[in-house]
Chains A and B, each alone.
Chain A
Amino acid sequence: MGRFIVNRVFSMGITLLLVITITFALMHAIPGGPFTREKALPPAVMKALEAKFNLDQPLWRQYVDYLGGVIKGDLGPSFQRTGVTVNKLIEEGFPISAKIGGLSVLLVLILGVPIGIISALKQNKWQDQLAMFLATLGVTIPSFVLGTLIIYIFSAKLGWLPSYGLKSWKHYIGPVIALGGFSLSFVARLTRSSMLEVLQQDYIRTARAKGLSEFVVVGKHALKNALIPVVTYVGPLVAAILTGSFVVEKIFAIPGMGKHFVESVGNRDYTVLMGITIFYAIFLVVMVLLVDITYGLIDPRIKMDE
């Protein structure tokens, strides 16, 4: 187990290096730069700005310098916001995104898995049909439509929920549902189909033949086997959802991280773009590692020593 994690951390380092290199190369391959404007800046100003942010150096030099900074944990200054560092942007934005994201993940797990189980147990009965109807809607409605609908119905028409900001718990309801809606529906469907497959297995018949109650048969024997595909999906989901969603944050006017990410691409804010990509990549590889460790805990046939 220990060796497995050491090996994985090492290969995670390589993955991150590749992510940094490729993003760096792609970023510089996009035409235009951080200081390209519709009305061209005077050459002297341009030169001064480029000198200030090291952009006058050869590309390899910039790459090495940047990498050196990343290793020290310094993601550099934002090119577009004077006096703001990328570290500061993440420090401010991430907790907000993570709070909404974390609540969404909880919603997905607390509702999605039980809905899937109940649907499987009540296969083709009205409970199942209702749940799967809603879940199909959930996976087909994009988050911006869902978010807009929530604001239109619950904020504008009924006045139950506030429409922007994060001042009270009520402010969280809309964004959490809009952010988690798709995954909730997806997890419910995934759990259902996985559960249905497991319930057909011979060992479920064995468990019933032992005289175990249906609760134990489902909760102990079926569930643990049925959760493996769900864990596979939820791991990367956590990384994606916690690092913020541009769309949902935009609709509900939430100052999270998602906004910075998308804007940095548009205005060529090189350091912000790189910084958030690296942050997300680290998050993702850690989650994938956690998923693999969880596999080992659920299914003893998966060995982690090799």
Chain B
Amino acid sequence: MRSERLLEVKNLRTSFFTHVGEVRAIRGVSFYLDKGEAIGIVGESGSGKSVTSMSVMKLLQYPGRIVGGEITFNGKDITNMPEKEMQSIRGNEIAMIFQDPMTSLNPVYTIGNQIMEAIRRHQGLSKRKAREKAIEILKLVGIPSPEKRVDNYPHEFSGGMRQRAMIAMALSCEPNLLIADEPTTALDVTIQAQILELMKNLKEKINTSIILITHDLGVVADVCSRILVMYGGLIMEEGKTEEIFYNPKHPYTMGLLKSIPRLDLGENKRLVPIEGSPPDLLKPPKACPFATRCPYTMKVCEEMMPPYFEAEKNHRSQCWLLHEDAPKIQVDTGVKRGSIS
């Protein structure tokens, strides 16, 4: 059975036109997402993860602008869709949850009010019906005594509960696509696990597709079936979750994997950082953006941008090491087979 395409992004380029010049935050990103699928976008700060999601939402703040490429959602080209039409998609067909639940809810309106707002906007329900639905969905995300909590203000909720409320708000209209931008980063570890579990369950329940953006590989391993690794405004490697973890092809992915804290290494083992810092996207390098930090840099890496090489089916990497003439490297990232489920 061939699954249906929900989202297709082709050669997306997004820039911020600041007073010092054009910052090219995304420099040609292509990916797709099928219905019911969950993919992860990983990468360090400034790699373009969040800008990718804001571009798909068409919520880029001035001076940011999509300068090229194509975004197709549910068969419709939304790249140049007028703002009015886009508004009826946002919150309805594409919903989003953000990193910091402490600041992402409006402090002067009740949780219920903020959930009902989306429901009433998109489904045209009466106030009473919308309220019932808000209570129902708060219950679904695990808020205790939701009929009372619905009238609470955000400051009366804990961090974890606020993120649950954010999820409730995002899922209230049963969107086809949920974009979660670092949904667990601002929460403590036990709450992180609960929120991820919740997202996984809800994904099954309402059959929504998920784009999970994070810098934490541990988070995506749990939820996503495919992973995109972003660096310097480009997708460096893309593949099935197991492929990325057990058989990484790009030195940047390997670096990320080596820097995950692990329980089985013992206390005295240091984490291995990736030396250096990401490229300045005001003057992006013409060749591979990772070349200056890569332990395997070859001459060609500093001169020409590599194309995508197909390592296996549905596993591609933008790295010269995959060229047939390149030296074969053997890398142990320390991730053992079977260590992710």
Interface residues in chain A, defined as those with a beta carbon under 8 Å from any beta carbon in chain B: 201-203, 205-214, 216, 220-221, 224-225, 298-301
Contacts and interface: CB of A to CB of B under 8 A. Distances in A.
B107 A299 contact: yes
Contacts of A202: 98, 100, 103-104
Contact of A203 (B59, B87, B107, B121): B107
B105 A208 contact: no
A299 B108 CA distance: 5
B117 interface: yes
Interface stretch (B9-17, B88-96, B188-196, B326-334): B88-96
Given A212-B118, A216-B117, 20 more contacts: A201-B103, A203-B103, A203-B105, A205-B59, A206-B106, A206-B169, A208-B59, A209-B90, A209-B96, A210-B95, A211-B86, A211-B88, A212-B91, A224-B109, A225-B107, A225-B108, A298-B108, A299-B107, A300-B155, A301-B107
Nearest to A222: B106
The 10 A-B pairs with the shortest beta carbon distances in the complex, nearest first, are: A211-B91, A211-B90, A210-B91, A202-B103, A203-B106, A300-B153, A209-B96, A210-B118, A202-B104, A211-B87
Contacts of B91: 209-212
Nearest to B156: A300
A212 B106 CA distance: 14
Nearest to A227: B108
B57 interface: yes
B60 to A, nearest CB: 11
Nearest to B103: A202
Interface of B: 57, 59, 83, 86-92, 95-96, 98, 100, 103-109, 114, 117-118, 121-122, 153, 155, 166, 169
B334 to A, nearest CB: 36
Contact of A211 (B109, B114, B118, B166): B118
Nearest to A200: B61
A213 B82 CA distance: 13
Given A205-B59, A301-B155, A221 B106 contact: yes
20 contacts: A201-B103, A202-B104, A203-B103, A203-B104, A203-B105, A205-B59, A206-B169, A209-B57, A209-B59, A210-B90, A211-B86, A211-B91, A211-B118, A211-B122, A212-B91, A213-B87, A225-B106, A298-B108, A299-B107, A299-B108
B121 A300 contact: no
A225 to B, nearest CB: 6
A209 B89 CA distance: 9
- Chain A interface main SS type: helix
Contact of A206 (B87, B105, B155): B105
B156 to A, nearest CB: 8
A212 B108 contact: no
B96 to A, nearest CB: 4
Contacts of B122: 211
Nearest to A213: B87
B109 to A, nearest CB: 8
B96 A224 contact: no
Contacts of B121: 210-212
A12 B104 CA distance: 39
A212 B86 CA distance: 10
A203 B107 CA distance: 8
Contacts of B57: 209
Contacts of B95: 209-210
A40 to B, nearest CB: 65
A212 B96 contact: no
Contacts of A207: 106, 117
B267 to A, nearest CB: 37
A205 B179 CA distance: 14
A214 B105 CA distance: 17
Given A206-B166, A301-B107, A212 B117 contact: yes
A211 B92 contact: yes
Contacts of A206: 98, 104-106, 114, 166, 169
Q: Pick the most buried of B59, B108, B114, B122: most chain A CB atoms within 10 A of its CB.
A: B108
Nearest to A207: B106
A216 B92 CA distance: 16
A209 B98 CA distance: 10
